[in-house]
Structure 1
Amino acid sequence: MLAVRLGLVAVWLGSWELAARTVIDPFFYSMPSEVWDKLVTWFTDGTSMGSIWENMGVTLEEAVLGFITGVLGGVVLGVLLGRSRFLADVVAPFIKGANAIPRIVLASLFVIWFGLGISSKVATAFVLVFFAVFFNAFQGAREVDKVLVDNARILGAGRWQLLRSIVLPSATSWILASMHVAFGFALIGAVVGEFTGADRGMGLLIRQSQGNFDTPGIYAGMLIITALALVAEWLITRLEKRLTSWRPPSSSEAAGI
């Protein structure tokens, strides 16, 4: 499996390099060798905005803070509204209206409200993560087996016991499924916020590369962000396996599909 993946990457990069040297204009499309040279320069000599590690750290910090706060907010509000039909009916138009606002507009507002520092980027990441997690947590809380809830109530379980012992475990799969895409959204939020206005970060490096018509710099920034997202996905997958280790394997997992 790994060999096939590496082979596909090698074919793709080789085709791109060959096309850039013979058919397409490398000024606009760059080539893998130039992107590699840009990455080597950034990691050895630094960037025009300082150390590449510092810029990566800033973007990662913004994304992690936005991810954590967005997940917490989405889970709490999603489960709360999922278990209260009255509250859900009252708040639903406001949630849908807020979700319809273009994120780039919110990023611009956050820069005005919170300045060029980390707060505006965390706010943008929070918004993107919150809605991704909220709708899954909401649906997961709605999908809890009613018979199971009724039986627990007959046995004397209170509201908090139901929430802790039945609702949250039942909604865990929905919440964890949303977290796989939520960290990618957090990175997007951080980069969009930096693109809108910042003094450090990968988004600022990409924006500067765009302004200088530095195509290899744009690709290099994209690769670094992609690598961060893949590492986060691996960590979330490990977390999911630990949190769901109590569940019996599904039929597809048992069959090795």
Structure 2
Amino acid sequence: MSVQPRTQPETEPAAPRRRTSRRPLLVRLVQLALAVVLLGAWELGAAAGVVDPFFFSRPSAIVGQVGAWVADGGIFRHLWVTLVEAMLALLIGSAAGLGVGFLLARVRVLAEVLDPYIKVLNSLPRVVLAPIFLLWFGLGIWSKVAFGFTLVFFIVFFNTYQGIREVNQVLVDNTRMLGAKESQLLRHVFLPSALSWIFSSLHVSVGFAIVGAVVGEYLGASEGIGFLISQAEGVFDTTAVFAGMVVLSIVVLLIDVVVHRGERYLLRWRPTGPADTGAN
């Protein structure tokens, strides 16, 4: 009777797995260190007179301004107005971009007919449209929503259109041979295949929706973060201007985290590679 030699369990993949698990923490530490270095250099430069605080303020003053706004409570009313405008622009623009993108990707003749018109509309400078929207919709919320819509729509549309066009035609043909209807193809083939493209556009669209709301408020409004920034610029208060930008940056980062969590949940069926392990 022969005795088979005992084999040791394979332990070689353990080291790469540990390195991969530590990578997100390392990335966060490097990001934090970079922020500390940049803000520290800015603060020291302002204290030494290398950076003129009148034009660039200083981080400590900006943090103090944000803290004063939070303690006063008035910032929340302005922030709420800006968020409502941005979210409406994001939702309406994304829904329209998804619908039109799916339609034109599936109906090639319609896409060819509308192609020059879409290119012309996309080439229009958005800032020029903002005063027109103010004339059409007034100084209320809908002029900002309309301006944000023009920024969000084309980003989502082009990503959705390309995502649908990139679906493997062999997969579509095989699914059709099994008797799938167009609605079933949309639900089980096209939508899952295009989700990566769609979420990629949403990450960018969040920032553009905020930009649309703030620019609209900057040009004409009575409340909102853009209104605060405009008022601060009117009295040359650079500290308040930078404080407004800091508040907006924090909000955009938080919303992007929410979008990323939703993406991970909806795409949990997708296999993750080394490039995905360092994601937020």
TM-score (norm 1): 0.94
SS in 2 for 1:213: coil
From 18, 21, 25, give the equivalent of 2:52. 25
Structure 1 equivalent of residue 65 of structure 2:
38
Letter in 1 for 2:241: I
Question: Where does the alignment leave 5 or more consecutive residues of structure 1 unmatched?
Answer: none
Paired-residue identity, %: 50
Structure (1 or 2) with the larger CA radius of gyration: 2
- Partner residue of 1:132 out of 133, 138, 155: 155
Aligned residue identity for 1:4:
V
Q: Where does residue 55 of structure 1 map in the other structure?
A: 78
Q: CA deviation at 1:153?
A: 1.4
AA matched with 1:39: V
Contact 2:159 2:198 in 1 (8 A): yes
Gaps of 5+ in 2: 1-25
Name the aligned partner's letter for residue 52 of structure 2: D
Would the aligned equivalents of 2:225 and 2:244 in 1 still touch at CA under 8 Å? yes
Which residue number corresponds to residue 180 of structure 2? 157
Report the more deviating stretch, 223-232 or 14-23: 14-23
Match among 216, 223, 226 for residue 200 of structure 1: 223
Q: How many residues align?
A: 252
Distance in 1, Cα, partners of 2:41 & 2:275: 37
**Post-superposition offset of 1:156:** 1.6
Change (3 A) 1:19 1:136: same
Q: Aligned-pair RMSD on alpha carbons?
A: 1.5
1:229 and 1:164 map into 2 onto residues whose CA distance is 30
Q: Say which SS state the counterpart of residue 136 (structure 2) adopts.
A: helix
Q: Give the alignment of 1:214-253 within 5 angstroms.
A: 214-250=237-273, 252-253=275-276
**Does the Cα contact within 8 Å between 2:42 and 2:51 map onto a contact in 1?**
no
Q: CA deviation at 1:45?
A: 2.7
Q: Deviations over 1:50-94 (max 9, x none)?
A: x11000000011111111111111111001101111011111111
